[in-house]
Amino acid sequence: MDFTVEFQPLGLRIQCDQDINALDAARQAGIQMMAVCGGEGTCGKCVIQILESKQLQQPTPTEIKHLSPQQLDAGFRLACMTTLTADTKLYIPASSIIEDQIMQTEGDAVQQELHPAIKQTTIILNKAYLKDLTSDFSRVKNAMVDPSLHANLDTIRRIPPILRENDWTVNLITRGNRVINVTRKKIETPLGLAVDVGSTKIACYLIDLDSGKVITAKGTPNPQIAYGEDIMARLAFAIQNRENAEKLHTLTMDAISLIASDMCRRINREVHEIMDFCLVGNTAMHHLFLNLPADSLAVSPFVPVMTDPLYPSANTLHLSAMPGAGVYAPPVKAGFIGSDHLAFLYATGFGKDNKIRLGIDIGTNTEIALQANGHIVSVSTASGPAFEGAHIAFGMRAAPGAIEHVTIDEDGKTIIDVIGGQKAIGVCGSGILDAVAQLRARGLLNHRGRFVKDRPCIQIDENGKPLFALSDGSQPVTLSQEDIDQILLAKGAIRAGIDVLMDHLQIKPNQVEEVVIAGAFGSYMLPEHAMGIGMLPTLPLDRMRIVGNAAGTGAQMMLISTNARQEAETLAEKIEYLELTVYPEFPIFYANGIRA
């Protein structure tokens, strides 16, 4: 009996026609798993989590030895000890993979005047003596000339020993009129963390708050993927009960703390030295990382609990940080327009000039904004996960073994670029886009997006369906008609969003002065191919600006400057949200958009 094994977070799937060992299945899918003992069941490195399966095997003695009871309860097993016999969905933790998938953290360099929320002031106090019985904290307030200065009990407890052991000198770390911590001397290179919590990945930037420079950056797959590939699936899980929502919250916070610890370790610092945070994300991620009830986001009319900026303590959110550290969570706009969109628009100049500018952040939901005629209007369109490799037979995320670029010559022969230079095992979004654009340009797809079957390079599979091979060899990576249909639906949704905005603000395509493209897929795609398949309006290439993870850049700007926070909040008020589903012409634009 045929069955499917799906590997997350890579998004890879393989078909099996007989029972298979999970480690072998991963290898067959081209995934390089840790297997130090070569599958003997002794090293304990090949950890997987069974997310969905008809039958979860009882743990073997080896698994009981290597995995905790909590892990076993949560479906963790050793791949080499697991036999797969039916449809199974697996999660492979990053620690079990030899090569991580590519996690985009790069964005434009931050151009932002420094104005951090956290300040350090080193003060030298007059020593207490019998003729001056002023309390320690009153001395601090007097030295700071701020009677409103206050601190929590833990901080106040730390002041007396420092004063008396440090010659009445103390370094105050303050946010506004609140002393969040005290140290003996000024901390050189004070640390802050800017985080873009994406549905697929979490990008973290460790920042020197004195210079505003990024010290180091790191990305990791969002571990929530284990509970649903798309946002709606995760929301459905979260709203089942409070424990589920807490689980998604904790997973996210633990992942951020883990990356932060790792980055700090790399520079010989401690995670408990991080003083300030800025966290952005789409509205679902925002609600989950803040541990806000997400029920209203899961059902129409998809109303957020809160759109205002929030300033919780890092401690409240269970983030590893300096005691007293705070988190800035910028405002969200609507159920599908989050603070990552605001950060993207802020970082790319929206609201700062009058240029007619289109901003597109391509993901499972693609947020699009058009600035024109004194307005900034945003929409969110359900473009689906096809550009992230899901719902495509050989689709996968950008990871070693993924075809990232394809050139097709006149005879239908392909030249492919594979990430990591290894054997192709799948194709990621940019490769799929290249392929579809060139299949169309070479006349191998007709205007309705159907394969032209009489061309020699179009193969026919055993079911009589057309197929195009991107790579050769005994196990080629192929594109089917169903795959092409998925891509056309995805690009059609994006184009319809753009057309609605241009229609709404009465802008013709050639009036657009700049198209800003963000997101992991957007960074690797070739704009000429996006124009070639009609995903973007046809414009001169020099009007296209690829900005990488601009939401991460915006989060960094807001981390290092309270002025940036205010400007971004003003921008948020200016953004008008347009609901596509109630726009009368949307169905027509969508029908036009899905043409090849």
Shortest CB 23 distance to ligand FES, Å = 6
State yes or no: residue 43 binds ligand FES (CB under 6 A): yes
If the CB atoms of residues 46 and 314 are measured against ligand FES, the closer one turns out to be: 46
Quick one: CA dihedral 292, 294, 295, 297, positive or negative?
A: positive
**Residue type for 164, please?**
R
Query: Is residue 363 within 8 Å of 335, Cβ to Cβ?
Result: no
If the CB atoms of residues 80 and 329 are measured against ligand FES, the closer one turns out to be: 80
If the CB atoms of residues 41 and 116 are measured against ligand FES, the closer one turns out to be: 41
Shortest CB 22 distance to ligand FES, Å = 9
If the CB atoms of residues 47 and 195 are measured against ligand FES, the closer one turns out to be: 47
State the Cα–Cα distance between residues 9 and 549, nearest whole angstrom.
Answer: 19
Residue 587: enclosing H or E segment and its boundaries?
A: helix 586-593
- Residues 134-193 binding ligand FES (CB under 6 A) are none
State yes or no: residue 80 binds ligand FES (CB under 6 A): yes
* The 3-state secondary structure of 436-477, one letter per residue: HHHHHHCCCECCCCCECCCCCCCEECCCCCEEEECCCCCCCC
Binding part of the chain for ligand FES, among 37-45, 110-118, 275-283, 383-391 by CB under 6 A, reads 37-45
Partner residues linked to 274 by β-bridges: 191
State yes or no: residue 109 binds ligand FES (CB under 6 A): no
State yes or no: residue 41 binds ligand FES (CB under 6 A): yes
If the CB atoms of residues 36 and 441 are measured against ligand FES, the closer one turns out to be: 36
Shortest CB 47 distance to ligand FES, Å = 8
> By rule CB under 6 A, what count of residues binds ligand FES?
14
Query: Is residue 236 within 8 Å of 584, Cβ to Cβ?
Result: no
State yes or no: residue 44 binds ligand FES (CB under 6 A): yes
Binding part of the chain for ligand FES, among 40-48, 412-420, 422-430, 446-454 by CB under 6 A, reads 40-48
If the CB atoms of residues 26 and 264 are measured against ligand FES, the closer one turns out to be: 26
- Residues 222-281 binding ligand FES (CB under 6 A) are none
State the Cα–Cα distance between residues 138 and 239, nearest whole angstrom.
Answer: 49
Residues in the chain: 596
State the Cα–Cα distance between residues 530 and 432, nearest whole angstrom.
Answer: 11
Query: Is residue 111 within 8 Å of 213, Cβ to Cβ?
Result: no
Q: Which one among 24, 37, 393, 478 touches ligand FES, defined by CB under 6 A?
A: 37
If the CB atoms of residues 80 and 518 are measured against ligand FES, the closer one turns out to be: 80
Q: Residue written as tokens 């989050």?
A: 338
State the Cα–Cα distance between residues 327 and 14, nearest whole angstrom.
Answer: 42
State yes or no: residue 312 binds ligand FES (CB under 6 A): no
State the Cα–Cα distance between residues 341 and 354, nearest whole angstrom.
Answer: 19
State the Cα–Cα distance between residues 374 and 182, nearest whole angstrom.
Answer: 47
Binding part of the chain for ligand FES, among 4-12, 13-21, 29-37, 533-541 by CB under 6 A, reads 29-37
Binding part of the chain for ligand FES, among 41-49, 316-324, 531-539, 566-574 by CB under 6 A, reads 41-49
Shortest CB 68 distance to ligand FES, Å = 16
Shortest CB 37 distance to ligand FES, Å = 4
Shortest CB 67 distance to ligand FES, Å = 11
Query: Is residue 113 within 8 Å of 561, Cβ to Cβ?
Result: yes
Query: Is residue 351 within 8 Å of 491, Cβ to Cβ?
Result: no
Cβ contacts of residue 534 below 8 Å, gap of 6+?
491, 495, 593, 595, 596
Binding part of the chain for ligand FES, among 33-41, 341-349, 368-376, 586-594 by CB under 6 A, reads 33-41
Binding part of the chain for ligand FES, among 36-44, 124-132, 164-172, 542-550 by CB under 6 A, reads 36-44
Binding part of the chain for ligand FES, among 5-13, 73-81, 282-290, 299-307 by CB under 6 A, reads 73-81
CA angle centred on 383, ends 481 and 578, rounded to 5°: 145
Q: What angle in degrees, to the nearest 10, is found between the helix axes of 429-441 and 481-504?
A: 90
State yes or no: residue 35 binds ligand FES (CB under 6 A): yes
**What CA–CA distances, in Å, run from 355 to 42, 179, 307?**
62, 43, 27
Binding part of the chain for ligand FES, among 30-38, 471-479, 509-517, 532-540 by CB under 6 A, reads 30-38
If the CB atoms of residues 41 and 324 are measured against ligand FES, the closer one turns out to be: 41
Q: Which one among 5, 31, 78, 280 touches ligand FES, defined by CB under 6 A?
A: 78
State the Cα–Cα distance between residues 255 and 331, nearest whole angstrom.
Answer: 23
Binding part of the chain for ligand FES, among 44-52, 235-243, 295-303, 349-357 by CB under 6 A, reads 44-52
State the Cα–Cα distance between residues 492 and 498, nearest whole angstrom.
Answer: 10
Q: Which one among 9, 11, 39, 326 touches ligand FES, defined by CB under 6 A?
A: 39
3-state class of 52 per DSSP? strand
* Angular region, 388: left φ>0, alpha ψ -120 to 50, beta rest: alpha
Shortest CB 20 distance to ligand FES, Å = 15
Residues in contact with ligand FES by CB under 6 A are 35-37, 39-46, 78-80
